[in-house]
Chain A
């Protein structure tokens, strides 16, 4: 089955620690996106990549980093510089401008 796999489903981060969220897709879509959702709020764009080895900052990139070494993979690292990382993180791919995003199941990150 084609789809997007995000792991882990739940993640706990200690203060000062970097953590990496995984996003893997087998849909053969070029474009991939990372969004953050805070309770009761909409989605905000962190980073996106339209092709391999290229990515752009979104609206809230500070404290995050990404890589796009393979078409299938777009991992997100939440660094210690991100002071309020507790949120629901969603990875998405885009088939084309008129198709909308397909989302993964999300990773819920909590600072402990």
Chain B
């Protein structure tokens, strides 16, 4: 079993709709969780971080964390063509030396 798993996609959503991305992780000692956006040929850019169970909203993005079920999700509201990218989920197990473990990424395509 991979430590951090994501559906590779592509996830195709119409412009203006909500894109829903999911990520599951295996280490119950995981303490902090991150979502990165990566455009083709570019380096990842941090868009959301979450540490406590529940929802965290930042603009059009909402991160949701459920430690009991070991999943973290990202919602993108009012999706725009500029949101078309690969979204990487990353998990930090502090006891393992503050190394982030990444999922394989979900490719999102927003169609006008």
Q: Does residue B44 face the partner (Cβ distance < 8 Å to A)?
A: yes
Interface residues on A, range: 20 to 34
Tell me which of B32, B43, B88, B98 contacts A50 (CB under 8 A).
B98
The answer for the CA separation of A9 and B99 in the assembled complex, in Å, is 25
Whether A48 and B43, one on each chain, are in contact in the complex, defined by CB atoms closer than 8 angstroms, is no
Tell which of A45, A102, A105, A106 touches B99, judged by Cβ atoms closer than 8 Å.
A45
Q: Which residues of chain A (23-49) have a CB below 8 Å from chain B?
A: 31, 33, 35, 40-45, 48
Most buried by A among B4, B36, B98: B98
Task: Name the distance in Å between A107's Cβ and chain B's nearest Cβ.
Answer: 10
3 A-B pairs closest in CB distance: A103-B43, A42-B104, A42-B102
Interface residues of A (CB under 8 A from B): 31, 33, 35, 40-45, 48, 50, 56, 58, 90, 94, 97-106
